[in-house]
Amino acid sequence: MTDRVEGGAAGGPAGRPGSAVQSVDRAVTVLEILARRGETGVAGIAEELGVHKSTAFRLLGVLENRGLVGQEPERGTYFLGAGVLRLAGAAVVRLDISQEGAVVCRRLAEELGETVNIAVLEGDAAVNVMQVRGPASVTAQNWLGRRTPLHATSSGKALLAHQPAAAQQAVLARKLPRLTERTLTSAAALRRELAEVAERGFAVAVEELERGLRAVAAPVRGRDGSVIGALSVSVPAYRLDDERLPEVVKATVSAAEELSRRMGHAC
């Protein structure tokens, strides 16, 4: 059996984009083979891929280093590793919080007449996975699927405030981009605000991401009590003055607590 020719129609010699895409395709296929077979050896994977055993061995080595596959030394077989469970778990949380949050977001959007979002932490950003627009004639823009900075959004601060100290420090150690004249760019100031957010149970962003936009967010907790998301309300600044803020905060926190209960947390 001979290995497939690297490159060619796939995009050229090894090291070029076509070769990289082919390697990714093969790695994904390896995971699919192990998911189907449960356990198998290098020879079996190589046969299904149509490649030399040395190529299959290299692919397995990379996947093993990332925790996506494990090896049974005595039998010389490979199986799906715990890393796959970690990735699957993250995907399930995003799906669950979107599905469970749909009713909660619709109810809150109708109550306040404003746009409601659910965001989850993804690396160094908050990603919006659910959005319901309010009935008001002027509403916030579409944030669904967008990555937003942790230091300049209510959702980002609500998420970051409940992360381990090391995760917070990793964000604080980087340069905090100034997006408006009200964006917090001082690590010390942001650290103080995160402590306040964790203590009071909600975060506020006042024209820190965009001029004319204010937002309130509260953390959403999972079964084990850890923060798995943030529920936020985005409002044009002229509709969220200091007099109305307590009403929006109370409704947002209440909705986040309801979603937490739906996610299995005993509030």
Q: What digits encode the pLDDT tens for the residues 186-197? A: 999 999 999 999
Whether residues 109 and 235 share a domain: the answer is: yes
The pLDDT, as a whole number, for residue 13 is 46
Whether residues 210 and 103 share a domain: the answer is: yes
The pLDDT, as a whole number, for residue 117 is 95
- Residue 148 forms part of a structural domain: yes
Q: Which of 80, 106, 128 is at the close of a domain?
A: 80
For 77-132, the pLDDT digits (tens) are 888 877 776 666 555 556 578 888 889 999 999 999 999 999 999 888 999 988 99
- Residue 197 forms part of a structural domain: yes
Distance between CA atoms of residues 215 and 224, nearest Å? 27
Whether residues 47 and 138 share a domain: the answer is: no
CATH code of residue 13 = 1.10.10.10
Give the pTM. Answer: 0.67
- Give all strands (DSSP E) within the chain, no chain letters: 40-41, 69-72, 77-80, 115-122, 125-132, 147-149, 203-206, 213-221, 227-236
Whether residues 141 and 169 share a domain: the answer is: yes
CATH code of residue 127 = 3.30.450.40
Its domain, for residue 50, covers 8-80
Q: Which of 80, 103, 126 is at the close of a domain?
A: 80
Query: How high is the mean pLDDT of the chain?
Result: 85
